Amino acid sequence: MTKSSTDLPSVKTSLIEVTDKLSNPPCRIFFKNEYLQPSGSFKLRGIGYMLEQKIKEAKKLNKSKVIVFSSSGGNAGLAAAYAAKYYNVECTVVLPTVSTQLTINKLNELGANVIVHGDHWGEADEYLREIVMKSIDEKNDYPVYCHPFDDDLIWKGHSKIVTEIIEENQLPNLDNVKGIVCSAGGGGMYNGLVEGLKSLKENDIPILVMETLQAPTFHETIEQNKLITLKSLKTLASSLGSPYLSSKAFENYKSHPTYLGLIDDLDALKGTIDLYDKFDILTEPACGASISTVFDKKDLLIKNFKNLKKDDIIIIIVCGGSSANEGTLDFYRKLIKDQ
């Protein structure tokens, strides 16, 4: 595996205008195509950057063996495994019993040690931290725990999305950028976007954060004005299924112009299908939540980014997702048809 000039496993992704391919958009629409990351999603940016920094720390401490640990059976776990392979270090991933064989196969292909334990992510994560990680050699080993979204190094890695958008020079006028749209589970990407905008002193560009009614973690946190933990999550947009929001996202919401969009799971599925049918791009429903705003949910753009003009620009983060395939899309089509 060839390392890039920046020595990071993530790659520069394209920024493309898709306005002329959409039906009656309220303004110019650009896609930032994070689905093109080698692991399948934007998660590789943050986790790859974090691992790079941790490897540097290990060398300074004269630790001979870096070991990556993850408990995510989704995009974060695959990003951790890909980054570990990129840097030629060991990776262990603990998955709950509900994980698909497809995910297990992908992790095995990346060389990860896979352990299946627990009925859900919480139990898998507890087993990883309390049992698996306790077996390391404290004298020689350097463990790197990869949280799916709650780490400042991960947010810094995600912030490069904004850096690339600015450096692309494809935007005719930065002043015309009226907003960025992203999906949110625990808030990792959102935190990265806010950090990127702050570092570039473009702090006035608002962000529309999309969730589903079945996983309204961000909405409930803001509604109750405190950090909460949802008692149950039954969403088809599984990558948005975090029971809690990072405290940093709660803090960023109070300081950065942010709007919240809430749609049904089926709307997110429809966004995924529309993206594939129109652009031949396969993504998960978590990505479909954001994408829906340029198809059936354009009203959310008009409502939140007020007074949009035809030459204004909205950027959609096409975050990707490693579990999508044509078979899952057929399943989504059937679910929508049966409603």
Distance between CA atoms of 111 and 41, rounded to whole angstroms? 19
Distance CA 240, CA 319 (A): 12
Q: How many separate helices (H) and strands (E) can be counted in the chain?
A: 13, 10
CA atoms of 16 and 235, how far apart (whole Å):
30
Q: What is the mean pLDDT of residues 117-128?
A: 84
Quote the CA–CA distance of 210 and 294 in Å, as a whole number.
13
pLDDT (average), residues 249-269 = 96
- How many CA atoms within 13 Å lie on the side-chain side of 17? 14
Domain 44-145 CATH assignment equals 2.60.200.20: no
pLDDT score for 256: 95
Task: Please give the Cα distance from 51 to 66 (Å, whole number).
Answer: 9
Question: For residue 202, what pLDDT is reported?
Answer: 60
SS3 149: coil
Is residue 166 over pLDDT 90? no
Six-digit token pair at 279? 């652009």
pLDDT at 58 over 80: yes
- Between CA 315 and CA 63 the distance in angstroms is 42
> Is the pLDDT reported for residue 323 higher than 90?
no
Which tops the pLDDT comparison, 5 or 77?
Answer: 77
The model carries a pTM of 0.92
Domain boundaries, the chain: 15-42+152-338, 44-145
> What token pair was written down for 307?
């007074």
Q: Do 44-145 and 15-42+152-338 have the same topology in CATH?
A: yes
Given a contact cutoff of 8 angstroms between Cβ atoms, the answer to whether 276 and 285 are in contact is: no
Q: Is pLDDT at 3 greater than 50 in this prediction?
A: no
Q: Which of 212, 206, 153 is nearest to 183 (CA)?
A: 212
DSSP run (H or E) holding 190: helix 188-199
In contact, 140 and 102? CB cutoff 8 Å: no
* SS3 category, 103: helix
121 neighbors 73 (Cβ within 8 angstroms): yes
| DSSP annotation of 69 | E
Average pLDDT on 105-111 reads 93
- Residue 31 and residue 180 in contact, taking contact as beta carbons nearer than 8 Å: no
Q: Which amino acid is at 73?
A: G
- The yes/no answer on whether domain 15-42+152-338 falls in CATH 3.40.640.10 is no
pLDDT tops 90 at residue 73: no
Percent of the chain with pLDDT over 70: 96
Percent of the chain with pLDDT over 90: 68
CB 81 within 8 A of CB 108: no
| 242 vs 48, higher pLDDT | 48
Per-residue pLDDT reduced to its tens digit, 138-147: 788 899 999 8
**Secondary structure letter of residue 84 according to DSSP:** H
Mean pLDDT, the chain, rounded, equals 90
**More confident position, 318 or 338:** 318
Question: Is residue 332 pLDDT above 60, yes or no?
Answer: yes
Sheet holding 177-183, edge to edge: 15-17, 28-33, 313-318, 177-183, 207-212, 258-263
